[in-house]
Amino acid sequence: MAIANAIRKAIGASSWIRKMFEEGARLKALYGERAVFDFSLGNPDLEPPSQFTEKLLELVQDEELGTHGYMPNAGYQQTRAAMARKVAREHRVDVTAKHVVMCVGAAGGLNVVLKTILNPGDEVLVVRPYFVEYGAYVGNHGGVLRTVDPTPDFGISPENIAAALSPKAAAIIVNSPNNPTGKIYPEASIQALGATLSAHAAKSGRRVVLLVDEPYRDLVYGGKVTPPIACHYSDTIVVNSFSKSLSLAGERIGYIAAAPTCEAIEELMGGLIMCNRTLGFVNAPALMQRAVAALEQTTIDISPYERRRNILTEGLAAAGIEFCEPDGAFYLFCKSPQSDDVKFVSHLKEHRILAVPGQGFGYPGWFRLSYAVPDWVVQGAVERFRAAMQEWRG
């Protein structure tokens, strides 16, 4: 049976992250696990906190009946209420349980929102560089991804956003802390973005959805805090997950929370709940919903990520590689010494360092390193980066 043309094309253009990950597996088979410094994949390598394991043990021994069956598609009431408290606290909005839908990770949540709000040909804006899967998610629901240039320091430019807002604009995705730059957008720039979107609504009559994708909200360093976003714009929908903050990426648990001020909020919630069901998820995993309800204020100990970030940034600076100073997440976005990022990434590969070219994030001339890797990878790679740069300079 032939597969769909669009899927054949998408497989052919398989993501750079995946390509580099596969290359890493090949090199490891050839030279041994410890001879390859693989910074390609953003897969949390820290274990979930002990509170999670303790909660799971308690839940599996719970003899209450019916805990593994279907439930209301939006999720358990108690879990939705816990997530509403979390979002209200973090975003300074009056979100309640009825504004929350539990979903299958942030990826599932983004797809549910986009399916709910997009009409064919609608545009979704995103600031470059960006998480490349957004293109597929928007395309899944008949939308068109439209990229917007950042400020020189990878911030949001309200002027560039205003220029990109066409009558077809339905949403803008904001990811803070950002994959791949690690940048937290400051509250002032979120405020300016909110003002730009409100001005557009007043002029065009169309209220663009501010879709906040924040799986890295709690992974922030040096005492920084991810500022609230929803309080700065009426039509904000927050999508978050516990993939990174509790290291539960494989358990697929997240939530969608809509600001009560969203246009036609009741119809919107009805749409989100229906799409959660009809995309095939039916509801978010039951056991995980019951676990995270008790852990909405818990995160992993992020100090290992912070330690690796510090080793890596010092090592790269000493090697003469420029990078965007990361506030959070576990990525470092570095400037390729030559505009051809693929060529430089191949050069790093000669030194058995695996990175992802910036063009995999819509931003050529740069490359991404993920430091969700064991300490020995980071420590061992510093000397390799130095040697690679020395050879590159000739």
Ligand X SMILES: Cc1ncc(COP(=O)(O)O)c(C=O)c1O
Cα of 374 vs its chain's centroid, Å: 21
**In the complex, minimum distance from the CB of residue 218 to ligand X, in angstroms, rounded to a whole number:** 13
Q: Which is nearer to ligand X, 175 or 336 (CB)?
A: 175
Question: Which residues lie closer than 8 Å to 118 by C-beta, 6 or more apart?
Answer: 124, 138, 141, 142, 143, 170, 171
Cβ pair 239, 197 in contact under 8 A: no
A 10 A CB-CB count for 310 gives 14
Sheet holding 123-127, edge to edge: 100-103, 254-258, 236-241, 209-213, 169-175, 123-127, 144-148
Sheet holding 356-357, edge to edge: 323-324, 331-335, 366-370, 356-357
**In the complex, minimum distance from the CB of residue 110 to ligand X, in angstroms, rounded to a whole number:** 7
Cα of 307 vs its chain's centroid, Å: 21
Nearest residue by C-beta to ligand X?
A: 105
End-to-end CA distance of the chain: 52
Locate 37 and state its tokens. Answer: 């410094």
**In the complex, minimum distance from the CB of residue 166 to ligand X, in angstroms, rounded to a whole number:** 24
Task: Verify binding: residue 254, ligand X, rule CB under 6 A.
Answer: yes
Q: Which stretch binds ligand X (CB under 6 A): 89-97, 103-111, 315-323, 350-358?
A: 103-111
Nearest to 323 by CA among 223, 183, 218: 183
**In the complex, minimum distance from the CB of residue 15 to ligand X, in angstroms, rounded to a whole number:** 11
**In the complex, minimum distance from the CB of residue 323 to ligand X, in angstroms, rounded to a whole number:** 18
**In the complex, minimum distance from the CB of residue 91 to ligand X, in angstroms, rounded to a whole number:** 17
Q: Which is nearer to ligand X, 129 or 228 (CB)?
A: 129
Q: Which stretch binds ligand X (CB under 6 A): 102-110, 140-148, 224-232, 342-350?
A: 102-110
Q: Which stretch binds ligand X (CB under 6 A): 94-102, 104-112, 137-145, 369-377?
A: 104-112
Task: Verify binding: residue 111, ligand X, rule CB under 6 A.
Answer: no
Considering only residues 201 through 240, tell me which ones interact with ligand X, judged by CB under 6 A. Answer: 213, 215
CA–CA distances in Å: residue 197 to residues 42, 172, 207, 210: 31, 9, 8, 8
Considering only residues 115 through 154, tell me which ones interact with ligand X, judged by CB under 6 A. Answer: 131
Binder of ligand X out of 179, 189, 226, 245 (CB under 6 A): 179
Q: Which residues are at the interface with ligand X (CB under 6 A)? A: 42, 105-107, 131, 175, 179, 213, 215, 241, 243, 249, 254
